[in-house]
Chain A
Amino acid sequence: MGRKILLDKAHIEGIRHYDVYRREGGYRSVEKALKTMSPDAVTEEVKKSGLRGRGGAGFPTGMKWGFLAKPEGVPRYLVVNADESEPGTFKDRYLMEFIPHLLIEGMITASYALGSNVSYIYIRGEYWWVKEILEVAVQEARNAGWLGKNILGSGFDCDIFVQPGAGAYICGEETALIESLEGKRGNPRIKPPFPAVKGLWGCPTVVNNVETIAAVVPIVNDGGDEYAKIGIGKSTGTKLISACGNLNKPGVYEIEMNISVEEFLYSDEYCGGIANGKRLKACIPGGSSVPILPANLLLKTAKGETRMMTYESLSDGGFATGSMMGSGGFIAMDEDQCVVKHTYTLARFYRHESCGQCSPCREGTGWMEKILLNIENGKGKMSDIDLLWDIQRKIEGNTICPLGDAAAWPVAAAIRHFRDEFEWHVTNPTDALKGNYGLANYAKPLEIAVAP
């Protein structure tokens, strides 16, 4: 059994509420930090832990904290990004829903390290009931003296508010999130200045993902070095993976970053294999924007090595033959699924979510969606495939924020690895309407793993 340090207590009856959470050892990290550590010492532990941002970018958290500007007399803010909207991703929801105090505890400790006296949780508006769960947890923490003025007599003041979004994927991008929190449209800002210098209301701000902040709790409790012992290389600690698609056991799993993709996919401890006895065709291992891989490249790298559930191994081979850890949204597709259709739904998603500021993204996403739908419906031409390739190339890297890249990558990877399936749609339009291309060679030549 893999070690769990975030969700180990998530199933204890009543853990959603303060009394049980506290009885189970909750809020120790706040006590330890406020009573025995300086703010910088907390940041130091986070640096030592090797923790990387769990929202998708994987940027070292301690370093991000280190960038925070600290001009005299200017407030600083911690904002937790709970705008979880990347298709395939539902891990933060799980954490907040089942063990909300873990996030609140992590926030207080992190706020202390950063010097944030008012911190916000920006949560996607559709998670309305989760917002209510969090508000109850915040109130309980306030009543118990963990929030407010002069917490534990340390002289440190802190309060937390929960802010709902209203349906916009783009607000997961940190500068768009800040705009939205200021009561505006979620249009990403041009960087620099980075939020660490000029963020919320023009003040230095750190925006961190829910899971990242929750991980601060075990890091402070056990020390950064202990945390760094879990995992492989620069992939330290545990990661929450939300698994979906054609799996026997979709759901949220906390994994130590030292298991193979094969184990995650097929062992009973995790996904339990592909549903209905089918075979795996393809997988998007890290949320909709990371490259899709055919089964053969998912389980083994191009060099024939076992692919592991780590940042490095998942991206081994670059975009040519690898993918990314991303947000940990693991989407598995069985042999009956159509990669063209799936890619079309993602293109539609990005068109819908483009904020419209940058022409390559605003125009390109809609164009890609139309072409993909044509191909899927048997109305595509061979030249459309090259046109698609061309469009995505022109979006990537040419926009203010990463949404453009996020829209381009899934299309690029689908064409890169599944070009024959696209071509089959063009040459067999009637069949494409009735059926699917099937598994073809996508699980060969590297053998398909069987359940152990």
Chain B
Amino acid sequence: MKFSDDKLKQVDEMISHYPEGKHKSALLPLLHFVQKENGGWLSSEAMDYTAELLKIAPIEVYEVATFYSMYNLQPVGKTIFEVCQTGPCMLRGSDGIVDYIYEKLGIKPGQTTADGLFTLKTVECLGACGYAPMMQLGPDYREHLTKEKIDALIAEGKTKAN
């Protein structure tokens, strides 16, 4: 992995948010950036490169990458359905959404479809409890989910892949 000059400039911009010598603070935003550039997950190579960019030890990156749930340490499908299943969403039928995705795609939480298109994850409260049931889809939220909306999201995921 190696960033173009343009990307390196973006890295420098991130580091500029902190006082001299406190560049390690850029680690979380930088890992988001690296993950995006690396197809949605953090390989060891990607993490080592992150360490190199920040001039910190690789272990400091591993420690952080393994702590936070938004970093994927394994390859993921092109479309990831992250369905919230915490209490308030459960009250409004999130279990039914997970079941319906299984019915349509044959994947349970933690699994990816054989064609690598879809991954299903169950996650904990995303701060959208009043608009439940909901899921995170990439950088966005999908709220007030229904079976029809799931059908549409699956269709959307398929078109995107083609």
**Known contacts A129-B139, A165-B68; A250/B131 CB under 8 A:** yes
- Select from chain B the residue with minimum beta-carbon distance to A164: B29
Within residues 342 to 399 of chain A, which ones have a CB less than 8 A from any CB in chain B? 342, 345-346, 348-349, 352-353, 355
Task: Produce 1/0 per residue, B27-43, CB < 8 A to A.
Answer: 11101100000000000
Say yes or no: is B114 at the interface (Cβ < 8 Å to chain A).
no
- Select from chain A the residue with minimum beta-carbon distance to B31: A166
Q: Looking at the assembled complex, report how far the CB atom of B124 sits from the nearest CB atom of chain A, in whole angstroms.
A: 5
Say yes or no: is B140 at the interface (Cβ < 8 Å to chain A).
yes
* A252 & B67 in contact (Cβ 8 Å cutoff): no
Say yes or no: is B25 at the interface (Cβ < 8 Å to chain A).
yes
Kindly state the separation between the CA atoms of A331 and B32 in the bound complex, as whole angstroms.
32
Residues of B within 8 A of A201 (CB): 19, 22
Kindly state the separation between the CA atoms of A201 and B68 in the bound complex, as whole angstroms.
21
- Select from chain A the residue with minimum beta-carbon distance to B124: A349
Q: Looking at the assembled complex, report how far the CB atom of B125 sits from the nearest CB atom of chain A, in whole angstroms.
A: 4
* B68 & A346 in contact (Cβ 8 Å cutoff): no
* B86 & A346 in contact (Cβ 8 Å cutoff): yes
Say yes or no: is A321 at the interface (Cβ < 8 Å to chain B).
no
**Known contacts A182-B22, A183-B26; A87/B132 CB under 8 A:** no
Say yes or no: is B57 at the interface (Cβ < 8 Å to chain A).
no
Residues of A within 8 A of B64 (CB): 166, 183-185
Say yes or no: is B78 at the interface (Cβ < 8 Å to chain A).
no
Say yes or no: is B91 at the interface (Cβ < 8 Å to chain A).
yes
Within residues 240 to 257 of chain A, which ones have a CB less than 8 A from any CB in chain B? 242-246, 250-252
Q: Which single member of B25, B60, B92, B136 contacts A126 (CB below 8 Å)?
A: B136
- Select from chain A the residue with minimum beta-carbon distance to B126: A126
Within residues 125 to 149 of chain B, which ones have a CB less than 8 A from any CB in chain A? 125-132, 136, 139-141
Residues of A within 8 A of B22 (CB): 182, 201
Residues of B within 8 A of A185 (CB): 63-64, 67
* A87 & B32 in contact (Cβ 8 Å cutoff): no
- Select from chain B the residue with minimum beta-carbon distance to A125: B70
- Select from chain B the residue with minimum beta-carbon distance to A243: B130
* A345 & B70 in contact (Cβ 8 Å cutoff): no
- Select from chain B the residue with minimum beta-carbon distance to A165: B28
Q: Looking at the assembled complex, report how far the CB atom of B135 sits from the nearest CB atom of chain A, in whole angstroms.
A: 11
Kindly state the separation between the CA atoms of A331 and B26 in the bound complex, as whole angstroms.
36
* A166 & B127 in contact (Cβ 8 Å cutoff): no
Say yes or no: is B90 at the interface (Cβ < 8 Å to chain A).
yes
* A353 & B124 in contact (Cβ 8 Å cutoff): yes
Say yes or no: is A128 at the interface (Cβ < 8 Å to chain B).
yes
* B25 & A182 in contact (Cβ 8 Å cutoff): yes
* B25 & A181 in contact (Cβ 8 Å cutoff): yes
Within residues 102 to 138 of chain B, which ones have a CB less than 8 A from any CB in chain A? 124-132, 136
**Known contacts A87-B124, A165-B68, A346-B87; A329/B28 CB under 8 A:** no
Q: Looking at the assembled complex, report how far the CB atom of A209 sits from the nearest CB atom of chain B, in whole angstroms.
A: 13
Say yes or no: is B79 at the interface (Cβ < 8 Å to chain A).
no
* B88 & A331 in contact (Cβ 8 Å cutoff): yes
* B70 & A167 in contact (Cβ 8 Å cutoff): yes
Kindly state the separation between the CA atoms of A86 and B126 in the bound complex, as whole angstroms.
9
Kindly state the separation between the CA atoms of A163 and B30 in the bound complex, as whole angstroms.
11
Number of interface residues of B (CB under 8 A): 41
Q: Which single member of B19, B28, B90, B130 contacts A183 (CB below 8 Å)?
A: B28
- Select from chain A the residue with minimum beta-carbon distance to B17: A161
Q: Looking at the assembled complex, report how far the CB atom of A279 sits from the nearest CB atom of chain B, in whole angstroms.
A: 15
* B129 & A329 in contact (Cβ 8 Å cutoff): yes
**Known contacts A180-B28, A182-B25; A85/B91 CB under 8 A:** no
Residues of B within 8 A of A251 (CB): 130
Q: Looking at the assembled complex, report how far the CB atom of B94 sits from the nearest CB atom of chain A, in whole angstroms.
A: 9
**Known contacts A129-B140, A183-B28, A184-B63; A90/B128 CB under 8 A:** yes
**Known contacts A124-B127, A183-B26, A185-B63; A168/B88 CB under 8 A:** no
* B85 & A345 in contact (Cβ 8 Å cutoff): yes
Kindly state the separation between the CA atoms of A201 and B26 in the bound complex, as whole angstroms.
13
Kindly state the separation between the CA atoms of A243 and B130 in the bound complex, as whole angstroms.
6
Kindly state the separation between the CA atoms of A312 and B122 in the bound complex, as whole angstroms.
37
* A183 & B127 in contact (Cβ 8 Å cutoff): no
Residues of A within 8 A of B139 (CB): 128-129
Q: Which single member of A126, A182, A186, A349 contacts B127 (CB below 8 Å)?
A: A126
- Select from chain B the residue with minimum beta-carbon distance to A242: B130
**Known contacts A84-B127, A87-B125; A331/B91 CB under 8 A:** yes
Most buried by A among B17, B28, B140: B28
Kindly state the separation between the CA atoms of A252 and B130 in the bound complex, as whole angstroms.
8
- Select from chain B the residue with minimum beta-carbon distance to A352: B124
Most buried by A among B56, B68, B124, B129: B129
* A166 & B91 in contact (Cβ 8 Å cutoff): no
Kindly state the separation between the CA atoms of A44 and B116 in the bound complex, as whole angstroms.
59
Say yes or no: is B49 at the interface (Cβ < 8 Å to chain A).
no
Residues of A within 8 A of B124 (CB): 87, 169, 348-349, 352-353
Say yes or no: is A437 at the interface (Cβ < 8 Å to chain B).
no
Q: List 14 A-B contacts (CB under 8 A).
A: A87-B124, A93-B128, A163-B25, A164-B29, A166-B64, A167-B71, A169-B124, A180-B28, A183-B24, A183-B28, A201-B19, A244-B88, A246-B91, A250-B129
10 closest cross-chain pairs (CB), A and B: A166-B68, A167-B69, A183-B27, A250-B130, A167-B70, A244-B129, A183-B24, A87-B125, A128-B139, A185-B67
Contacts beyond the supplied A168-B69, A185-B64, A244-B91: 6 A-B pairs with Cβ under 8 Å: A163-B28, A183-B64, A250-B131, A288-B87, A342-B87, A352-B69
